[in-house]
Amino acid sequence: MPTRVHSNAAVAVAVTAPARLHMGFVDLNGSLGRKYGSLGLAVDGLATRVVVRRGSAPSITGKDAERAGRYLERLRAVIDIPGDLSVVIESAIPSHAGLGSGTQLALALGTAVSRLMGSDLSAREIAHLLDRGARSGIGVAVFEDGGFVVDGGRGATDTPPPLISRMPFPQNWRVLLLLDPQSTGLHGQAENSAFRTLPTFPEREAERLCREVMMCALPALAEADLPTFGKAISDIQNSIGDYFSPAQGGRYTSPRIARALDFLKARGVHCIGQSSWGPTGFAVVDTEITAQTLRSALLSNFPDVEPVVCVARNRGGDVCAPGSVYRDGSDAISPRHRAPGN
């Protein structure tokens, strides 16, 4: 991509990127020419927020500043970035928790810098430049539009997989996240090694999972049928979790999360699973009352697990230039602002 620079640069830009759940792969066999294919959901309540300003001493502050610095250097390949740029990471999705922290930081920072410099890089271009979305395109998709998304898997190119379905998620349903601060999911070389060394995923099982998505999960979501949707997602989760079990030590990465999910299953929760490599677990329930009741029960029985009640996010990330005002009246670049739900 050629260097892009325009003269109508702003003074500051703030970008909020929502966390996402990776709810399973569709085809880990790949015999048809495309591999992976992912299911995902944008959630409110956890987000990465980056503010980039011009006209001050160059600096990068906040959680994951080192990673942001690496991203910024790679952005210089396509954007003429001045020396008076300051980056503040006001909030960050927990790292290596299965919630998309790396991709969302890359998209938030890349979008902020691109808009600040008057450039026009898309989220897909930023993800490709910063080596995000190699296997899954849901991080890009939820940043762009939110909702429940399905990507078509990786083909012959190394660009992020294409989005093939995007559906709004019922706003009365609640997502119960189960966080384990004492554990991290596979990442980096360990993740790459797992994909290289695991056996070939059975073709017939990949066919079954594709049918499960197309004929169960998506129609049930369209009809707001939580029991059917939940059964399909849980079935996909069980299949993929068992396949990854040798690499992550069981169907779930964290034994604490595994016990908490079994607790929810015993109480009739239809939709449970682990996001990506974990350790974060999730459950989808019908109402706020149900979610809060289960959260209280988890707090009483599992002191090492942090349950968080979230709403699905049916819109993408927030991008605000100077002068913009949020609904609560705060300035768009005020450090007091947090993503909706925080």
Are residues 321 and 333 in contact, defined by beta-carbon separation less than 8 angstroms? no
**What's the CA gap between 126 and 264, in Å, rounded?**
38
Could you tell me if 27 and 84 lie in one domain?
A: yes
Place 189 in a pLDDT band, splitting at 50, 70 and 90. Answer: confident
Residues 177 and 264 grouped into a single domain: yes
Residue 251 CA to residue 258 CA, distance in Å, equals 8
110 and 250 co-located in one domain: no
* Nearest residue to 272 via CA among 166, 185, 181, 176: 176
Mean pLDDT across 42-67: 93
Q: Are residues 211 and 229 in the same domain?
A: yes
Claim to verify: residue 299 and residue 340 sit in the same structural domain: no
Are both 144 and 14 inside the same structural domain? yes
Averaged pLDDT score across all residues of the chain: 90
Place of tokens 């939580």: 226
Predicted model pTM: 0.89
Q: What angle do CA 79, 85, 89 make, to 5 degrees?
A: 100
Q: What is the pLDDT of residues 267-300, one digit of tens each?
A: 999 999 999 999 999 999 999 999 999 999 999 9
**301 class by beta-carbon count within 10 Å (0-12 exposed, 13-18 middle, 19+ buried):** exposed
Q: What is the pLDDT of residues 109-119, one digit of tens each?
A: 999 999 999 88
Burial class of residue 238 (count of CB atoms within 10 Å of its CB; 0-12, 13-18, 19+): middle
* pLDDT, average across residues 225-230: 98
Residues 83 and 102 in one domain: yes
pLDDT of 333 > 50? The answer is no
Give the domain extent around 110.
1-168+318-342
Assigned token pair, 126: 């930023």
Q: Are residues 111 and 201 in the same domain?
A: no
Domain of 28, CATH number, reads: 3.30.230.10
Looking at the structure, tell me whether residues 198 and 92 fall in a common domain. Answer: no
Q: Which two tokens mark 312?
A: 């699905």
Do 70 and 176 lie in one domain? The reply is no
Q: What is the pLDDT of residue 322?
A: 53
Together in a domain, 340 and 297 = no
The 8-class DSSP code of residue 62 comes to E
Neighbours of 152 (CB within 10 A): 17
The reply to whether 60 and 131 lie within a common domain is yes
